[in-house]
Amino acid sequence: MGKQPSAWITTQQKKRWPLMILLLLSLSTLMAFLIRSTFNSCSNGSINNVGNFIREGQEEEKGGTHHQVNHNDEAPTPNPLDFMKSKLVLLVSHELSLSGGPLLLMELAFLLREVGADVVWVTNQKQTESDDIIYSLEHKMLNRGVQVFSAKGQEAIDTALKADLVVLNTAVAGKWLDAVLKEHVADVLPKVLWWIHEMRGHYFKLEYVKHLPLVGGAMIDSHTTANYWKNRTRERLGIKMPETYVVHLGNSKELMEVAENRVAKRVLFEHVRESLGVKNEDLVFALINSVSRGKGQDLFLRSFHESLKLIQERKLKVPPIHAVIVGSDMNAQTKFETELRNFVSQNNMQGRVHFVNKTLTVAPYLASIDVLVQNSQARGECFGRITIEAMAFQLPVLGTAAGGTMEIVVNGTTSLLHPAGKEGVMPLSNNIVKLATNVEKRLTMGKRGYERVKERFLEHHMSERIAKVLKEILLHKAKRHSES
Ligand SMILES: *[C@@H]1O[C@H](CO)[C@@H](O)[C@H](O)[C@H]1NC(C)=O
Ligand SMILES: *[C@@H]1O[C@H](CO)[C@@H](O)[C@H](O)[C@H]1NC(C)=O
Ligand SMILES: *[C@@H]1O[C@H](CO)[C@@H](O)[C@H](O)[C@H]1NC(C)=O
């Protein structure tokens, strides 16, 4: 039992009670926000930290649902989603798991519940997660008043027919339409909003998306992804996208609360650095994404290695720099992970490169690093939620000039961009050195990023954007109705 009460507490023991209480407060905030905030909307990799997650689920039960409501210390402003009150909304998820798509749909479910909509959830696919996770996720929804039905039962069909709005989440959820609704498909299509978060070739199958042209609308997380879908559906499948709305995501209130709580941040900073064996004054560059070639951890490590060489060659006076890779999963990407680790040991970087397993709780890492690296390759991120989360923590971003990242950051102001692919290795290593040697620049960029988040990437911004789309879909449905 010696060190049992967890390092969070141990680091605090020397300090005073008021701090303790603050810490506990911020911890409960952390617990509450765990699930809602942190994942990358485009990544399909599930993010595991089951232990934490389930504990959080229990916390929630005790806390009841109030804390969601009176949470906002700003002046009460009308919720842009208020018009959804008493509307019946059916959410169709392709799976129930701790991965980006389903968690985002759950976030929408809770936003709708907050304004008094009736929300029904169905999961179309077989379970991929353990029973514990499914149970915990379903429970979380039931606690917030979301009804959970079987995807294939009569209840689901009746709900689809009665609903004011049906949200299909991800391309794959399209299979549900024919499989379950059968002869009713045409009646339901006009009120379907199809929410798409992916930019990968294998989604362009008629089997999934053949009804796309006739739905009420499509909602996509970035312009890059929307253009990609428009082009690909036309070129590959010969179908036309419906009215398509780009909706950039926003940070949850819970994440912002931690990001803006100095004490919480400091505690997390010290705790995480201690656990990684990194000194407080060292500089940490972190890439937080599920480990896979598409996310570019290999190229980042090459850049990092080049930076170490540059610093040594030029005899630059900088604190020791570290690379942290959060999102490791030895079981899923064994070959790639082994390659990364071999690269580290071949270049004697063991003391400078740290691997952290996949986790839902990215806030502690965001609180304890100096720079976020977003190195997604090829078409880049579809949106890349970790980018706005990092900016909330006043971190500068070193990102690939691709995909949604370009729609979030301002090159030179909040971020320094480098090309995707091998030609990005040297530019990224130069940017690493630039930020390592220039404290002023680093801090200013972080501040500018934070300001940008406050201007456009908060939960209420996202709610406003979603509200506009939902209004359009309801209108569209009404028109169809009066025409027929
Ligand atoms: C559209 O897709 C085709 C191939 O499917 C590609 O050659 C072309 O460059 C794309 N156009 C745009 C504007 O992305
Ligand atoms: C990380 O995951 C690996 C296997 O996936 C496991 O063996 C290891 O104990 C985990 N590390 C931590 C710190 O949880
Ligand atoms: C970002 O800014 C740098 C410096 O101004 C410039 O060299 C680079 O081309 C820019 N990259 C993009 C993608 O705009």
The pLDDT assigned to 265 comes to: 96
The pLDDT assigned to 74 comes to: 54
Sign of torsion over alpha carbons 95, 97, 103, 107: positive
Specify whether the CB–CB gap between 62 and 140 falls below 8 A: no
Q: At what angle do helices 131-143 and 50-63 cross, to 10 degrees?
A: 30
Is the pLDDT at 139 greater than 70? The verdict is: yes
Which ligand 1 atom is at minimum distance from the Cα of 231?
A: 1
Question: For 310-332, what is the mean pLDDT?
Answer: 95
The pLDDT assigned to 35 comes to: 38
Question: For 226-251, what is the mean pLDDT?
Answer: 95
Counting residues of the chain whose pLDDT is more than 90, the rounded percentage is 72
| Closest C-alpha residue for ligand 1 atom 10 | 231
Calpha distance 272→276 (Å, rounded): 6
Is the pLDDT at 159 greater than 50? The verdict is: yes
Question: For 303-332, what is the mean pLDDT?
Answer: 96
Ligand having the closest approach to the CA of 48: 2
The pLDDT assigned to 216 comes to: 96
* Ligand 1 and 483: CB distance under 6 A: no
pLDDT tens for each residue of 187-205: 999 999 999 998 877 788 8
* Ligand 2 and 331: CB distance under 6 A: yes
Question: For 432-444, what is the mean pLDDT?
Answer: 97
The pLDDT assigned to 29 comes to: 45
pLDDT tens for each residue of 355-410: 999 887 899 999 999 999 999 999 999 999 999 999 999 999 999 999 999 999 99
The structure tokens listed for 70 are: 């009176």
* Ligand 2 and 346: CB distance under 6 A: no
Domain covering 255-456 assigned CATH 3.40.50.2000 in the classification? yes
- Give me the CATH topology for the region 48-250+460-483: Rossmann fold (3.40.50)
pLDDT classification of 98: cutoffs 50, 70, 90: confident
* Ligand 2 and 51: CB distance under 6 A: no
Q: 307-341 b/e with 16+ CB inside 10 Å = b?
A: bbebbeeeeeebeebbbbbbbbbeeebeebbeebb
| Closest C-alpha residue for ligand 3 atom 14 | 411
Calpha distance 287→400 (Å, rounded): 12
Give the start-to-end residue ranges of the domains of the chain. 48-250+460-483, 255-456
The pLDDT assigned to 476 comes to: 79
Instruction: Kindly report the pTM of this predicted structure.
Output: 0.85
Q: 453-471 b/e with 16+ CB inside 10 Å = b?
A: beeebbbbbbbebbbebbe
Question: For 351-357, what is the mean pLDDT?
Answer: 97
* Ligand 3 and 410: CB distance under 6 A: no
Which ligand 3 atom is at minimum distance from the Cα of 412?
A: 2
Question: Cα of 300 to ligand 3 centre, how many Å?
Answer: 18
Sorted by sequence, the CB contacts under 8 Å of residue 423 that are 6+ apart come out as: none
The pLDDT assigned to 463 comes to: 97
The pLDDT assigned to 483 comes to: 63
Q: What does pLDDT average to over the chain?
A: 86
The pLDDT assigned to 97 comes to: 82
Give the distance, in angstroms, between the CA of residue 391 and the centroid of all CA atoms in the same chain: 13
Calpha distance 156→163 (Å, rounded): 10
Question: For 460-473, what is the mean pLDDT?
Answer: 97
Calpha distance 95→84 (Å, rounded): 25
The pLDDT assigned to 467 comes to: 98
Specify whether the CB–CB gap between 100 and 362 falls below 8 A: no
**Residue 418 three-state SS:** strand
Question: For 58-83, what is the mean pLDDT?
Answer: 56
The pLDDT assigned to 115 comes to: 97
The pLDDT assigned to 126 comes to: 67
The pLDDT assigned to 104 comes to: 92
When mean pLDDT is compared across 10-24, 146-160, 367-381, 430-444, the lowest value belongs to 10-24
Instruction: Decide whether 48-250+460-483 matches 255-456 in CATH topology.
Output: yes
